[in-house]
Amino acid sequence: MTRKRLILLFLTVFAIAKIFLSLGASWNEPQVQSRLQLFQTDLVLHGAEFATEQGDRLTALLGKDTYLEAQKQYEKAKKEAEQNRDRLQAQLAPEISSPDRGQAVEFVETPQQNQILEAIAQIDREIDELDVNVGILQASRGELKTARETWQNVQGRSPSFNIANTVGTLQGLWQEPMDIASDAEITLQNNLKGWFRFQALSRLYEGTQQEKALSSLQAEEEVISQGAIVKLAFIAGIPIVGGVFGISLLLVLLAQWILQKERSLLGTSAKGWEVAWDGEVTWQVLIVGFFALSQLILPLVIPLAIALLGLNIAAFSLAEKALYILITYLLMTMGGFSVLYFSIRSFFPLPEGWFRFQWLSKWVLWGIGGYFVAVPLVLIVSLVNQQIWQGQGGGNPIILLALQAQDRWALFLFWITAALAAPVFEEIMFRGFLLPSLTRYVPVWGAIGISGLIFAIAHLSLAEVLPLTVLGIILGFVYARSRNLLASIFLHSLWNSGTLLSLFILGSNT
């Protein structure tokens, strides 16, 4: 065995191990979707304040009992957090116990145990914050006794000082007569967000008869509520409009297939590519140019370079983190393309049809059509996926950062990464190279399916495997039929841009 093959074998073993470890680790992480649902719930709560003035006209958008539905959503999030905490607790050594609420984490010798303890402490804080909000929802529905019991349970768990102070303030506000702390306003302003802060401050201003402050707060909330209705309409409109167009297009494609069979777009007689190299070259590009580069080389080199420059990644601002992610992705793109070029350059000139960019063609229509087809299919699979994983399975950490991207510079950098850099790199690697290379061994539809699955696994999140496989198959279908990388790149960019815009809208309500 040559030295080159030995190195490739080592990198292959590393990549496979890293994939399994990352997918396994993601099982203990909450789905990002759960966090997104809470953000959307907060929008609904804001919208409900405006809806009270509009009668039943907004019922279809907000639901009949907004507070009850919001309470159920928060209780569901709390249950998922508790399940996640139990899973982490089970991973601790028998002699190690998790810290009490509000207490500092006591570090042990094993780094993995330290990470678990920190994660448990973070989940404890999240559970306390969820219960604080559940209590406000219960109090707003008139269930004062239940609300007080919820807050008392939080106090009984030894929460952090901020949580304890907030709970004590809320209990004083929702009792007769009111017992208002001297620092009540500051506490509520600093420790509550969004609609929950509005509810608590309204109660405070009413109880202390601060009519001017109450009037100003209500005027501010009215503006926010009207904006929330617009945001909800937009967020709901994308899947509804896209779903209607997508299902209609799918029905047309199905009818065409029934009538024309192999001559239809869904026919199985699509011609493969002429592949000049063998499977070893394909494997080399995939392992070295993608997995090893993204999971081994760059994670070692970039933090070392950052440290040598005297910088601390943890101290980066949101815009600096966005720039860091973009630079990392550009370096991965340059490295991946270099591996691709040196792996296949001995086969130049390539056979006809490889890496085609045809500007004067129907690539825009292919991209838009693929997007509309993807919306209902990915949505349906995502709903099933949530039932399978029950809130677990992890997700892309960039999503949580994008939720916070309320300054234009950070948002622009995230968009460059998600809507330009990622589509170009991933489409050239997975659709431009991997999919056609696989047609040397399997039919086109088989290559589309396999490349779509590998594309999904490459994101290293269990919860994303099924939805991203479906998206990858649609991207592969669009490329295989259009024979134009611009079509799949445009579709990929549309998808990521829509996701990023929805995240920005959800995050703008905090």
DSSP string, 256-279: HHHHHGGGSTT-S--------S-H
Lowest mean pLDDT among 141-155, 263-277, 440-454, 484-498: 263-277
Query: Residue ranges of the alpha helices (H) in 261-352?
Result: 279-286, 298-308, 318-344
Lowest average pLDDT, out of 80-94, 100-114, 124-138, 188-202, goes to 100-114
Residue 392 has pLDDT above 80, yes or no: no
Question: Is pLDDT above 80 for 261?
Answer: no
Instruction: Enter the tokens of residue 81.
Output: 């957090």
First to last CA, the chain: 58
pLDDT of residue 3: 81
The closest alpha carbon to 392, from 23, 20, 19, belongs to: 23
Kindly state the average pLDDT of the residues 404-432: 87
Give me the half-sphere count of Cα atoms (radius 13 Å) on the Cβ side of residue 484. Answer: 16
The DSSP output letter for 361 is S
CA–CA dist 475, 378 (Å, integer): 12
Q: How confident is the model at residue 391 (pLDDT cuts 50, 70, 90)?
A: low
pLDDT given at position 29: 67
If pLDDT is split at 50, 70 and 90, which confidence band does 119 have? confident
Contact in structure between 43 and 232 (CB atoms under 8 Å): yes
Q: 8 versus 390: which is more confidently predicted? A: 8
Q: State pTM to two decimals.
A: 0.83
CA distance 180 to 199: 15
d(CA 476, CA 360): 21
- Percentage of the chain with pLDDT > 90? 34
Confidence tier at 61 by pLDDT (50, 70, 90): very low
Nearest to 431 by CA among 452, 461, 417, 460: 452
- pLDDT-derived band at 274 (thresholds 50, 70, 90) equals very high
**Half-sphere exposure (Cβ direction) of 9: Cα atoms closer than 13 Å:** 6
pLDDT higher at 331 or 34: 331
Closest CA to 192 of 222, 170, 219: 170
The one-letter code for the residue type at 224 is I
pLDDT the model gives residue 260? 81
Q: How wide is the angle at C-alpha 69 spanned by C-alphas 63 and 74, nearest 5°?
A: 145
The arithmetic mean of pLDDT across residues 191-212, rounded, is: 90
Residue 115 has pLDDT above 80, yes or no: no
pLDDT band, very low/low/confident/very high, at 30 (cuts 50, 70, 90): low
Lowest mean pLDDT segment, chosen from 91-105, 162-176, 225-239: 91-105
Question: Is the confidence at residue 426, as pLDDT, over 80?
Answer: yes
pLDDT at 226 (0 to 100): 83
pLDDT above 90 for 366: yes
d(CA 436, CA 448): 9
pLDDT band at 335 (very low <50, low <70, confident <90, very high): very high
